[in-house]
Structure 1
Amino acid sequence: MRAEQVKKVQVVVREYDAEKDLAGAEAVDRSCEVGPSGSISIFTDLLGDPICRVRHSPAFLMLVAETVAPEKEIVGLIRGCVKTITCGKRGAATPIYTKAAYILGLRVSPFHRRMGIGFQLVEQMEQWFRCKGAEYAYMATEKDNEASLRLFTGRCNYAKFRTPSILVQPVFAGHHLPLPKDTTLARLLPAEAEALYRLRFSTTEFFPRDIDDVLSNRLSLGTFLAYTWTGLNRFLAGPPESWAVLSVWDCNSLFRLELRGAPLLWRGLAWTTRAVDRAVPWLRIPSVPDLFRPFGGYFLYGLGGEGPAAASLLRTLCRHAHNMARAGGCRVVATEVAACDPLMPGIPHWRRLSCAEDLWCVKRLAEDYSDGAVGDWTRSPPGVSIFVDPRDV
């Protein structure tokens, strides 16, 4: 009987209304755990703000799909944002920008799937993107999420584009990681960080033109520079042989995550390693954090550097970010980089918690291009690095 009723349901796609739609949107989010195929899934608690993951972008929108009969019920939702990012470069140092839209958080309640609701939500969101002047739309999904791929690459004509790696490192509650004494660690002012990023990274794919807004956002906890040469006031004019940089974004204030469906063996191992670590902390055993109840984390963005020691210096910065996350009550530190990024060896992570290939798909929305030098960005080969905007996490 339930299946017969679902087949006849009709929906209206409209803009989210925080005053009357909060409970319904939260119910849809709770019913849609995400993750790779298998028994383990990730549940996200948005802490009472369903728009939190897009509201820090220059332009954003959340749509809901609501049934019209027999009674009104929110059964799907989608979030999107529009911003200007780098899609190529002219020569060696001049970025070419495009207005691009990002889709995230597409959800349809389990009882209302395979009815075209997801397609309607994407179609309506793309109409808004076009009204905002977006030339491209892109989204991210797990490479084995067959339902998502059928929708986006099948019905919605998106193309597989990039496969960056998500790297996750647990935060060891009892361990303050020591930093090497022969490395200078400096915190940059937002204006200094902006100057460095524009000088060194503005031609990197997906670099946001409004990087100044990102760096000055209250969720950006700072930009940190590591080098083996003194004289910070001379750095931008003549950097040392080796240096590294990264910025820290506070996802802990936006949402909480929780692993569900993990085998009892995993839970037992996590409990045992933490117990041993508490009993003999001087052994510095890498205990498995409790990720089976809600936890938060920090996201590292703007990772980069140059020189033969860049990877080692980046590792020092990641250790510093770990200590920041520990002080902030987080249980993970995460980042996302191009799969072929030469600095990846300098990013500590646990393979079991990480994802070697996150799949990004892209679609051309406009008939013309803002700059013909790029041509069709959807057909361009990947670069060695990528700039992941923390507002997209």
Structure 2
Amino acid sequence: MHGADIITLRLMYSLHAVTVTVYSSISGCTSWDRRREGGGRECKDMGEEFPTTITTVVVVTVREFDPNKDRERVEAVERICEVGPSGKLSLFTDLHGDPICRVRNSPTFLMLVAEIGEETVGMIRGCIKTVTCGKRLYRHGKNHTQPNSKQVPIYTKLAYILGLRVSPHHRRMGIGLKLVQRMEEWFRDNGAEYAYMATEKDNVASVKLFTDKCGYSKFRTPSILVNPVFAHRVTTSPKVTIIQLTPNDAESLYRNRFATTEFFPRDVDSVLNNKLTLGTFLAVPRGSYRSDTWPGSDRFLSDPPTSWAVLSVWNCKDVFTLEVRGVSRVKRTLAKTTRVLDRAMPWLRLPSIPNFFRPFGLHFMYGLGGEGPEAVKMLKALCGFAHNLAKDRGCQVVATEVSSAEPLRFGVPHWKMLSCEEDLWCIKRLGEDYSDGSVGDWTKSPPGFSIFVDPREF
């Protein structure tokens, strides 16, 4: 995006306007009193009132983020904006001096800033990628379907909005709405067919902005499952063997088994080969395969064991860190006590609370899947492995996001007090044309059992 879009916001009553009422000096009128009602002033000598109303005009500039010019000002706005419902514990994010880090790994991305004069008052990020929005049977020849035809994905170009911030001193002025509208223009210019965003269902202001003013509809309610990293290591089942796959093997497995999963990214190879992906790990029954006897994904899928599970790990710690604020000193002391006991007696495997009250890192588990009657147990072993990996790399949290109907979610250890059972995804249709045939309106489709959460957007 090039150039600047000058948006003039007239702060009238309909937009929570600020008006200044000025009373002009009148000849021979020298004594003024503040009226007790209405806030006007009365000229005692004349006994009359001459109000003049002036509407304040604020000029807001929305333009593309300039890292050389805007970095420090954007960080200042980020610091004063809390993430989470007002009046509760607040979660603050440190972007390590890179405001674009949350979208930088996406195929196409943009960040916009809003200014009043030389002051940065808001920002928004957006990215675009191609994902699975449905599936269809693969047809062999015209108007003919083989009995064992496989399902293939239907793709669409999807945009994602994240990191919308408006300075607390400049809210209720329509700035957030203008940022969203300008970002949607960029989405359309780049061929996006849908746009979606994620928020907590209790974030009333955000939900109202997108659903009431921007035309988004509530779409999916996945669960964010969060587990602390303890001072002790987690023991995994001796009945399970865990194998690390190469990026090529991981891509083959994901495309063969999960390509028709909703939100599956067509460029999954870019995700798996990204330096932030620490690995893809496969759990199988002990005795079925070992690292030195691994035949490759294609042969594995042609004759899989009775049960197996897979997940990948994304290193969010190198992108951003988090910090919990608003916790009482008593609760901080209790949390510290659990860590002291866990370190002193690791054989007891006490569930200690990490130090969330200073900047901490996390690992995100994505691409969770599996098959067979023991798949849940296999996934639990993988989550234990991921916990130990996070501990070794100095992280305090392991997290994932799954569909509310995901059968494998029961294999993901998590603390309810740290998790979000209903994250809210809202979606909007931007265009009528589809790149892979007509599939109807995705915004009206029922949810499936699983979704593929792209770690680049967590």
Q: Equivalent of 1:259, from 304, 320, 324?
A: 324
CA–CA distance in structure 2, aligned partners of residues 282 and 150 of structure 1: 50
Q: Does 1:19 align with 2:68?
A: yes
State the 1:373 CA deviation: 4.3
Quote the residue 1:237 is aligned against. Answer: 302
**Pairs within 5 Å for 1:307-346:** 307-346=372-411
Return closer, same or farther for 1:7/1:196 CA change in 2, 3 Å cut-off: farther
CA–CA distance in structure 1, aligned partners of residues 325 and 247 of structure 2: 38
Q: Does 1:46 align with 2:85?
A: no
State the 1:146 CA deviation: 0.7
Quote the residue 2:36 is aligned against. Answer: none
Q: Equivalent of 2:126, from 61, 69, 80?
A: 80
Matched-pair identity in %: 65
Any conservation in 2 of the 1:299–1:333 contact (CA below 8 Å)?
yes
CA–CA distance in structure 1, aligned partners of residues 226 and 252 of structure 2: 28
CA–CA distance in structure 1, aligned partners of residues 264 and 317 of structure 2: 23
Give the letter for the 1:83 counterpart.
K
Q: RMSD of aligned C-alpha atoms?
A: 1.5
What is the CA deviation profile of residues 218-242 of structure 1, one whole-angstrom value per residue up to 9, with x for unaligned ones?
0000000001122531313211110
Any conservation in 2 of the 1:39–1:262 contact (CA below 8 Å)?
no
Q: Equivalent of 1:155, from 192, 200, 213?
A: 213
State the 1:292 CA deviation: 1.0
Q: Does 1:356 align with 2:421?
A: yes
Q: Secondary structure of the residue that 1:33 maps to in structure 2?
A: coil
**Pairs within 5 Å for 1:26-41:** 26-41=75-90
The two structures have a TM-score, normalised by structure 2, of 0.82
Any conservation in 2 of the 1:187–1:224 contact (CA below 8 Å)?
yes
Any conservation in 2 of the 1:37–1:144 contact (CA below 8 Å)?
no
**Pairs within 5 Å for 1:32-111:** 32-68=81-117, 72-91=118-137, 93-111=151-169
**Pairs within 5 Å for 1:154-303:** 154-173=212-231, 175-228=232-285, 229-230=288-289, 231-233=293-295, 234-303=299-368
Quote the residue 1:366 is aligned against. Answer: 431
Give the letter for the 2:152 counterpart.
T
Greater alpha carbon shift after TM alignment, 33-42 vs 303-312: 33-42
Q: Can you give the 5+ residue segments of structure 2 that lack an aligned partner in the other structure?
A: 1-17, 21-54, 138-149
State the 1:93 CA deviation: 1.9
Give the letter for the 1:221 counterpart.
L
Q: Can you give the 5+ residue segments of structure 1 that lack an aligned partner in the other structure?
A: none
Q: Secondary structure of the residue that 1:314 maps to in structure 2?
A: helix
CA–CA distance in structure 1, aligned partners of residues 179 and 345 of structure 2: 53
CA–CA distance in structure 1, aligned partners of residues 349 and 101 of structure 2: 36
State the 1:8 CA deviation: 4.2
Q: Does 1:139 align with 2:197?
A: yes
State the 1:90 CA deviation: 0.4
State the 1:4 CA deviation: 6.9
Give the letter for the 2:216 counterpart.
Y
Greater Rg by CA = 2
Greater helix share, structure number: 1
**Pairs within 5 Å for 1:121-140:** 121-140=179-198
Q: Secondary structure of the residue that 2:302 maps to in structure 1?
A: coil
What is the CA deviation profile of residues 278-330 of structure 1, one whole-angstrom value per residue up to 9, with x for unaligned ones?
23222111111110111001000000000000000000001111111001000
Give the letter for the 2:267 counterpart.
D
CA–CA distance in structure 2, aligned partners of residues 130 and 84 of structure 1: 14
Q: Secondary structure of the residue that 2:248 maps to in structure 1?
A: helix
Return closer, same or farther for 1:7/1:118 CA change in 2, 3 Å cut-off: farther
Greater alpha carbon shift after TM alignment, 52-61 vs 230-239: 230-239
CA–CA distance in structure 2, aligned partners of residues 8 and 352 of structure 1: 46
Higher relative contact order (CA 8 A, sep 6+): 1
Give the letter for the 2:218 counterpart.
K
Any conservation in 2 of the 1:176–1:323 contact (CA below 8 Å)?
yes
CA–CA distance in structure 1, aligned partners of residues 153 and 86 of structure 2: 38
Return closer, same or farther for 1:294/1:232 CA change in 2, 3 Å cut-off: same
CA–CA distance in structure 2, aligned partners of residues 373 and 244 of structure 1: 34
